[in-house]
Structure 1
């Protein structure tokens, strides 16, 4: 009498097996000064998981917010690497969503995410990397300041100490500060970004390039009115030429791209890089844009997504992740979660 039940049970087991083996999990790496326990990050991860049908995990590094400021990025990347290697849920591969924070230096989760792709020996394969406002080519100056004499003085003071051993070992964001008029000091003093971007002559690592070029999709989201990252085009690997603060070179005109130091050109020519531009300020993105440009790359069929190489979005409803974090923490009571940008 038990035989008629064998087929349904077998089918159920197969469906369960198929779902668990095809569903690709993702991790979220918080930005500078943020951490996984904050309601904004938790809810952001939950939303992406609900929308995509894939399980999401936020990766805590050290003591969270404080260590994001004071711990060198190589050490943060090592901690993240050990964590993902121990997560059996990621053993068949996973996706990364790199976040930012509206601070004076920028978008640290993206840097650690790229470190996982390039530096994590023995780690599970990263399939899709989605970057929101990442300082991939570096950030060059203090934001929100302008050209007043005080700002120039502050900038000069930062440039005098930013590549010192003490600052590099005790201020995480200094590890991706790139002064275009002092490339020698940057290459010799900066302890993370030159290695990440394979910029050090006679020390270029083919393994880093091979790993980065193995991504199935690289989604680079730039915010048109971004005043935190300088220049904002760093989100697309664009940057200033060596020796000057102008003009801003598009990624395709930089040596990193033309000489293919990390495999960006290889990815781009294979149609695997998506350059997305949204109209808001730093991290102001609409729910519709999130569903359109992030969620599809967290789903099982992400490798088959057909988006134009360059996408410009002009949605009127914007969502600031920073404001959202304050809202979830109860600090923005009475303010709209979504707000119309003029």
Structure 2
């Protein structure tokens, strides 16, 4: 009886703490070569957020029914399917009905942006993209989650075959491969990125939904050796026709075509940077720079 009583007291305390937090629920989406719940990656970030926000609900997205499928999704399940799957999961989660904040890591950043643009229910309030490749990539100099031989094969495949239909259909990284030397082919044959960037035709729903965000925060890693160019994390990219000069977001057609100019003029488009290679950040930096974005009203 005493044990049951103590359990009831503990449960009461837990739910009191969880409900007393001012922070909205948080949704996480992992990057390539990761899963929802590895204890050394998103598992530890989930715990850190729960601790620092006084027990807010954190959902770390898992694509498919198990960890193996979740891992493989980062390479082999088309982003359109993944986004539809996530939108369905979020709509069914009653704890998100009043809105949520979202954090995407690496390619999870552009995937969650697609969620914001395509699925307005439940409402995403703040989108935090940590190392996301919003203008795509043109190069894969390092992919430590794979063997060196697999990395090299992936690199060669993307350089040669990225815009072939079967590659676009079966390889996630091809869907945001952006060749500045072949801009028209990219726009017409990219099966994901050129669509969510409004580069094929203007989808007004994308603009309207993106502008419902209270904030869109983009984090760039200053010493990134994985994302080429690293400025893609801030929507910058190579000027068309060459692969050296970077064109910043405010000089890119995407700036107006996605309505990012309105977010920017309202002070809702936030640029953050951190020293370190791709996704290399300390808990201290995360607590000081990201946690406040999750707890502000």
- TM-score strictly above 0.5: yes
1:288 deviates by 2.0
The 5 Å alignment of 1:1-342 reads: 19=19, 22-40=22-40, 41-53=42-54, 54-62=56-64, 63-99=69-105, 107-120=106-119, 123-144=121-142, 158-200=158-200, 203-257=201-255, 260-301=256-297
**Deviation (angstroms), 1:300:** 4.3
Q: Normalising by structure 1, report the TM-score.
A: 0.74
Q: Distance in 1 between matches of 2:154 and 2:282?
A: 34
**Aligned length, in residue pairs:** 271
CA RMSD between the two structures: 2.6
Quick check: which one's helix share is greater? 2
CA distance in 2, matches of 1:20, 1:208: 34
Write the distance in 1 (CA, Å) between the matches of 2:244 and 2:154. 20
Which runs of no fewer than 5 residues in structure 2 stay unpaired?
1-11, 144-150
CA drift of 1:156 comes to 6.6
Q: 1:47 to 1:256 in 2, by over 3 A?
A: same
Greater shift after overlay, 48-57 or 169-178? 48-57
The whole-number CA distance in structure 2 between the counterparts of 1:144 and 1:64 is: 21
Question: Aligned with 2:31: secondary structure?
Answer: coil
1:24–1:300: 8 Å Cα contact kept in structure 2? Answer: no
On the 8 A contact 1:52/1:296 being kept in 2, the answer is no
CA distance 1:44–1:155, change in 2 (3 Å): closer
Cα distance, 1:20 vs structure 2: 6.2
Gaps of 5+ in 1: 1-11, 100-106, 146-150, 302-342
TM-score (normalizing by structure 2):
0.85
| Deviation >2 Å, runs of 4+ | 18-23, 151-160
